[in-house]
Structure 1
């Protein structure tokens, strides 16, 4: 049981922020304070690193609510496995990213986007016209972009 095996046995929700992550969170907080000021509603993923990020942002009057809908895309225990997308040709791989479930048991990008749509619907109902900050993860940000920019699966290449 070396360090790599111990790391691979943990769920990514338990991963802590790195030193670089703490520096980046502090910088993001300063930028948001300078450009936006304060926020009316604050949300973050319930993953440890997102909660830590929200704290290191040091936003005035911080009052973050955790929300499971904005957690990272579930990889379904894919660690150490080859990507399920490898079986697709280079031409069809971007489209397959939307629909193929990661690790067989995880979420596809489309699955995650359905969950994110629920979060956006809640925001529409409870925070219309308010300044909202959301601390989340890379794939979640890509999902929000796809939803908010109305990107079609055939056009999505990231």
Structure 2
């Protein structure tokens, strides 16, 4: 593991072998960064995020998300297994998953998707509000590319 200068690493974070953080990276609490993955300088990794093996993260990685791949890294949906293991209630996990549907599967741009998430009272919870705030405060931009249909099918088969 290599953690460069001026990085902030939260509690209960797991690093795989050869994981690398560039300078000034912020990794929040309860993040899992798998083996061989790299996070570019000045990026943020949101809490309860999962970064898959040998991934290259060049933008902010969303909290509660499974992010995998290199140039560009893509989101494979909510990190539901990680959230359940950390004791999140089924209701909160469902709200987070539905929020990701607005962000990744709707035809709305990011601004409109965030507005729709805030308007949908059935999604109201601290975790969803944190997700919205994380996106809005990003300096480098966030990873919002959805995995290709074929890649998602391969991962689902595992």
TM-score, normalised via structure 2 length: 0.28
Using CA pairs below 8 Å that are at least 6 residues apart, which structure has the higher relative contact order? 1
Structure with greater proportional strand content: 2
